[in-house]
Amino acid sequence: MFGDDFNFFVATNTQIDLYDISLSKQRAKVIKSIGFSVAENHAELYYDSLANVVLICDTQKGMVHPFYLNLYKSR
């Protein structure tokens, strides 16, 4: 990952968690949790590693929600 403060992320059906994992210290720290909602919790996730973008596609409503992971500090 090309994040400034994080090097790993986990996406579930309700949120994206950004982590800073230190292998030398064997610890993981949550940097940011980004919550989202989709119709009936049914979504498809696409990730582009070069742009560091996660796209959540709500197939029930026909909507796409982009999350620019490097811009997690801005509102």
CA distances from 72 to 26, 30, 51 (A): 24, 13, 14
- Per-residue pLDDT of 1-59, as tens digits, reads 455 678 888 888 788 999 988 888 888 999 889 888 877 767 788 988 888 899 988 88
Output the pLDDT for position 17: 92
Output the pLDDT for position 59: 81
* 3 state SS of 65: strand
Output the pLDDT for position 4: 64
* Domain regions of the chain by residue span: 8-71
Output the pLDDT for position 63: 85
Half-sphere exposure of 16 (CA within 13 A, CB side): 23
Output the pLDDT for position 8: 86
Output the pLDDT for position 55: 92
Q: Cβ(69)–Cβ(3) under 8 Å?
A: yes
